[in-house]
């Protein structure tokens, strides 16, 4: 069995993402906030030669490599070290948090700092889709793209527990300790949720391990899949 543990670049990136989460104390407002702060932080480490956001790969190229979707690839982060590249895809599904924040030296009480996202079945689907997207990019550019990371950061307990057996999104579970995720992932039955979200195949074998984090007194957890 082939298990994807990643290149030295992706392993270093996984360590650095863990450091970013551990060192951060203020809550992130949304996924874009996560993306921007992580990009700035990675640049500031001076361990990489470049960090780009919303990196575009045309669908016409991706489809030739087996990409199952009609959309273009807009990758959250692409990190360069010398002539090597790695992709980082981010997910930040949350439940609502109301907290005071300080703005321009003034304390603002009772701010909804993160919102309820819901749609946990689709978020789980898109997390594993991120893994597939990175596999596709690596296959398109095997000489330069060494792999990447699919990262999920959340305060929603659902993702650690995963869906129940027999639910339509069982194949896309992100439950703690899930291992050997490989091959065809698909909905157990076709519903409106599944429309436009086709099943897909993972080349590698992956496992899910969650780690605790805390921002602004709110408990979070994160998991990193290294491709």
What's the confidence (pLDDT) of residue 192?
83
Report residue 216 as tokens: 């602004």
**What's the burial of 17, exposed, middle or buried (CB within 10 Å: 0-12/13-18/19+)?**
buried
What's the confidence (pLDDT) of residue 2?
45
Report yes or no: 73 and 53 within 8 Å, Cβ to Cβ. no
What's the confidence (pLDDT) of residue 193?
82
Closest by CA position to 9, among listed 86, 87, 83, 76: 86
Q: Which residue has the tokens 């899910």?
A: 208
Tell me whether strands 97-103 and 106-114 are parallel, antiparallel or unpaired.
antiparallel
Report yes or no: 223 and 206 within 8 Å, Cβ to Cβ. no
Report yes or no: 92 and 153 within 8 Å, Cβ to Cβ. yes
What's the confidence (pLDDT) of residue 221?
98
Q: Which residue has the tokens 């500031």?
A: 44
Q: What is the pLDDT along the chain (227 residues), one digit of tens a residue?
A: 445 566 899 999 999 999 999 999 999 999 999 999 999 999 999 999 999 999 999 999 998 888 989 999 999 999 999 999 999 999 999 999 998 999 999 999 999 999 999 899 999 999 999 999 999 999 999 999 999 999 999 999 999 999 988 899 999 999 999 999 999 999 998 888 888 899 999 999 999 999 999 998 999 999 999 99
Report yes or no: 171 and 188 within 8 Å, Cβ to Cβ. yes
> In the chain, what is the greatest distance between 2 CA atoms, to the nearest angstrom?
56
What's the confidence (pLDDT) of residue 4?
58
């Amino acid at each position: 069995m082939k298990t994807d543990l990643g290149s030295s670049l992706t392993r270093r990136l996984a360590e650095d993402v863990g450091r970013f989460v551990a060192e951060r104390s203020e809550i992130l407002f949304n996924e874009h906030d996560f993306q921007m702060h992580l990009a700035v932080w990675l640049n500031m480490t001076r361990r990489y030669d470049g960090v780009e956001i919303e990196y575009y790969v045309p669908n016409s190229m991706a489809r030739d490599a087996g990409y199952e979707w009609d959309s273009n690839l807009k990758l959250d982060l692409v990190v360069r070290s010398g002539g090597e590249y790695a992709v980082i895809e981010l997910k930040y599904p949350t439940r609502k948090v109301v907290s005071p924040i300080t703005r321009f030296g003034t304390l603002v009480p009772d701010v909804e700092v993160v919102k309820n996202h819901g749609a946990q079945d689709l978020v789980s689907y898109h997390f594993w889709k991120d893994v597939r997207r990175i596999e596709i990019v690596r296959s398109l550019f095997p000489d330069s793209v060494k792999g990447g990371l699919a990262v999920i950061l959340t305060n929603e307990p659902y993702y650690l527990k995963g869906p129940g057996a027999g639910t339509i999104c069982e194949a896309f579970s992100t439950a703690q300790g899930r291992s050997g995720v490989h091959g065809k992932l698909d909905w157990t039955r076709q519903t409106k949720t599944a429309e436009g979200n086709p099943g897909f195949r993972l080349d590698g074998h992956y496992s899910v391990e969650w780690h605790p984090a805390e921002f602004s007194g709110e408990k979070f957890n994160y998991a990193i899949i290294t491709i």
